[in-house]
Amino acid sequence: MSVTNEISPDTPTAWWRDAAIYQVYIRSFADGNGDGIGDLAGVRARLPYLADLGIDAIWFCPWYPSPMDDGGYDVSDFRDIEPTFGTLEEAELLIAEAHELGIRIIIDIVPNHASDEHPWFKAALAAGPGSPERERFWFRPGRGENGELPPNDWQSRFGGPAWTRVADGEWFLHLYSSRQPDFNWTNPEVHAEFIDILKFWFDRGIDGFRIDVADGLIKDPSLPDVHGATTGPLPYSDMDGVHEVYRAWRKISDSYPGERIFVGEMWLPDPIRFARYLRPDEMHSAFNFDFLSCPWEAKRLREVIQSSMDSHSLVGAPPTWVLSNHDVTRHVTRYGRSGDTGFEFADRRHGTPVDRDLGTRRARAAALLTMALPGGVYVYQGEELGLWEIEDIPDELRQDPVFERTKHADPGRDGCRVPIPWGDTKPPFSFGTGGSWLPQPQEWAAYTAEAEAADPDSMLSLYRKALHIRRDEPALGDGEMSWAMSLADVIAFNRDPGFTCMVNLSAEPVPLPRHESIILASGPLQGDQLPPDTAVWLRTY
């Protein structure tokens, strides 16, 4: 392996302020041992691909031992590696190899809940009501004459009640599946445990943590009913006490050499509340889901961009620009839909007609938009290949607990988690040698990394070019932007020195502004006109 850009963990740089971070959902990335499930050996073999792509860091979805009820977000041991993925030793090798290639490593941490197979939860079940073991979770007697009703009316985010009854009659709280009991963060033991887990992984050289459900740790201990509310002030989301947790965590990360970071996952309706997590003594950055959820409409996108810039500048944090992840409908599909092109969990709108060529053109334009905006950018595995949502997975193969828990009303998230096509002309497209845990469509023969690497007009070639330009271009990355004059359905902004990004969301071609040269375009231009659903980067005077 050639050493390109080795990271010295002792050099303090604010690398995270404008990093391009690639999200790896391990079981769908690359399978090294032929069992049909992605693993660390697969990732290690593909590190050169990621280095060529031009990313600065990888974020790994949970790699810990897990019964995989929720794809690894049900953790049974926070200090080891899931055996089907590999070993702790392999993880250490992977970290070192990535660092040699100039790639930093961020891992998921899941502080809101554990797996029901976590030793603490097993101990809690065994110890019985009133025991200190139960105090690490939320156990309560039920309501009703014989305690047969849940302690309150909270609903799981995966559907159904947020409480499950155990054999001795008590109920435990789970905001997600019934195999994901929520930790009780009023218990100092829980705090101490997570501090120790952070150190365990920082000591192994990781560069940061992505914090799962970062807003959810603290619950109102009176556990009040919510009477059907899912937004507004909720007694299990964005409670003020959660900030104390991250202040304590920040002290830990700051005590390590280099810049070790926290990235928060919070789906919050209020950008100002959101920014509170990014105060200088809390997290470094967080996913911009307002941007991800926004439909492909110039006015709405401009508003979201402006409000993101404003809210982040209140706390001096860099915004991030996210189009897809392992929980949402892939954006080629969303942007190609007739009707609403935004995203909401309440309705995935599977089965809505999709014009995939249109969705792809818009996805290409969106990539240049995100990479030109100030701050960080995320790439979800497969978006660089232009993959779309797989909506026709047979019911019996669906694995996401959302599908069962909503009694099939919500198809769940398997459609964005189909294993990546790397090469070859038929499934599993070199994902591995032993099939793939979710079926891939035959059409992906034209979308393998190998096929796209050979095509200068592919999505992969666009991402490679754009990420490399972004890295070298002084105007891009961290900093400021200013809106340029433009037509109503056009997004145009300037960055200093001498850079303009323009995206045409109207139905007609629009004239390019005065420029010195064209740096990159997401599709063919028509002379001096920018066609619909196309973005361009210009060198300006």
Binding-residue pattern over the window 425 to 454 for ligand TEU, x denoting contact by CB under 6 A: ------------------------------
CA distance 100 to 80: 23
Comparing CB distances to Ca ion, the nearer of 54 and 428 is: 428
Tokens of 417: 């988690």
CA distance 304 to 310: 10
- Cα distances (Å, whole numbers) of residue 355 to 334, 361, 384, 455: 10, 10, 19, 22
388 binds, among ligand TEU, Ca ion, none (CB under 5 to 8 A by kind): none
CA distance 226 to 228: 6
Binding-residue pattern over the window 38 to 77 for ligand TEU, x denoting contact by CB under 6 A: --------------------------------x--x----
56 binds, among ligand TEU, Ca ion, none (CB under 5 to 8 A by kind): none
33 binds, among Ca ion, ligand TEU, none (CB under 5 to 8 A by kind): Ca ion
* Residues whose CB is less than 8 angstroms from the CB of residue 459 and which lie 6 or more positions away in sequence, other chains included: 360, 363, 364, 367, 383, 384, 385, 386, 452
Angle CA 486–492–494, to nearest 5:
120
Comparing CB distances to Ca ion, the nearer of 35 and 489 is: 35
The three-class DSSP label of residue 183 is: strand
35 binds, among Ca ion, ligand TEU, none (CB under 5 to 8 A by kind): Ca ion
CA distance 438 to 411: 14
Could you say whether residue 110 binds ligand TEU (CB under 6 A)?
yes
CA distance 201 to 203: 5
- Cα distances (Å, whole numbers) of residue 511 to 117, 326, 506, 529: 60, 37, 12, 4
Tokens of 400: 């996401």
Listed residue (127, 206, 138) closest to 168, CA to CA:
127
Q: What is the DSSP letter of 521?
A: E
Could you say whether residue 420 binds Ca ion (CB under 5 A)?
no
- Cα distances (Å, whole numbers) of residue 531 to 217, 483, 503, 511: 47, 20, 9, 9
Q: How far is the CB of 199 from ligand TEU (least distance, A)?
A: 22
Could you say whether residue 35 binds Ca ion (CB under 5 A)?
yes
Choosing from 31, 82, 410, 533, the residue that interacts with Ca ion (CB under 5 A) is 31
Within 38-57, the residues that bind Ca ion by CB under 5 A are 39
Within 157-176, the residues that bind ligand TEU by CB under 6 A are 157-158, 176
* Contact (CB, 8 A) for 404 and 397: no
Q: Which stretch binds Ca ion (CB under 5 A): 32-40, 86-94, 322-330, 508-516?
A: 32-40
Name the residue whose CB lies closest to Ca ion.
39
213 binds, among ligand TEU, Ca ion, none (CB under 5 to 8 A by kind): ligand TEU
Could you say whether residue 15 binds ligand TEU (CB under 6 A)?
no
Choosing from 26, 30, 37, 175, the residue that interacts with Ca ion (CB under 5 A) is 37
Q: How far is the CB of 111 from Ca ion (least distance, A)?
A: 27
Q: How far is the CB of 73 from ligand TEU (least distance, A)?
A: 3
Binding-residue pattern over the window 446 to 475 for Ca ion, x denoting contact by CB under 5 A: ------------------------------
* Residues whose CB is less than 8 angstroms from the CB of residue 47 and which lie 6 or more positions away in sequence, other chains included: 1, 94, 97, 98, 101, 103
Comparing CB distances to ligand TEU, the nearer of 265 and 290 is: 265
Comparing CB distances to ligand TEU, the nearer of 327 and 452 is: 327
402 binds, among Ca ion, ligand TEU, none (CB under 5 to 8 A by kind): ligand TEU
CA distance 522 to 516: 18
Could you say whether residue 345 binds ligand TEU (CB under 6 A)?
yes
Q: How far is the CB of 327 from ligand TEU (least distance, A)?
A: 4
Comparing CB distances to ligand TEU, the nearer of 320 and 360 is: 320
Binding-site size for ligand TEU (CB under 6 A) equals 14
Strands (E), 230-316: 261-264, 285-286
Name the residue whose CB lies closest to ligand TEU.
73
31 binds, among ligand TEU, Ca ion, none (CB under 5 to 8 A by kind): Ca ion
Q: How far is the CB of 158 from ligand TEU (least distance, A)?
A: 6
Choosing from 101, 105, 206, 213, the residue that interacts with ligand TEU (CB under 6 A) is 213
110 binds, among ligand TEU, Ca ion, none (CB under 5 to 8 A by kind): ligand TEU
* Contact (CB, 8 A) for 386 and 410: no
Distance of CA 349 to the CA centre of its chain: 20
Query: What does the radius of gyration of the chain's CA atoms come to, in whole angstroms?
Result: 23
39 binds, among ligand TEU, Ca ion, none (CB under 5 to 8 A by kind): Ca ion
Alpha helices (runs of H) in 68-215, residue ranges in sequence order: 88-100, 119-127, 188-202
Q: Provide the pairing of β-strand 482-483 with 490-495.
A: antiparallel
Q: How far is the CB of 155 from ligand TEU (least distance, A)?
A: 11
Comparing CB distances to ligand TEU, the nearer of 70 and 290 is: 70
Q: How far is the CB of 30 from ligand TEU (least distance, A)?
A: 20
CA distance 98 to 53: 13
Q: How far is the CB of 447 from ligand TEU (least distance, A)?
A: 24
Within 283-322, the residues that bind ligand TEU by CB under 6 A are none
DSSP string, 36-80: SS--HHHHHHHHHHHHHHT-SEEEEPP-S----TTTT-S-S-TTS
Question: Where along the sequence are the contacts to Ca ion (CB under 5 A)?
Answer: 31, 33, 35, 37, 39
Question: Where along the sequence are the contacts to ligand TEU (CB under 6 A)?
Answer: 70, 73, 110, 157-158, 176, 212-213, 265, 267, 326-327, 345, 402
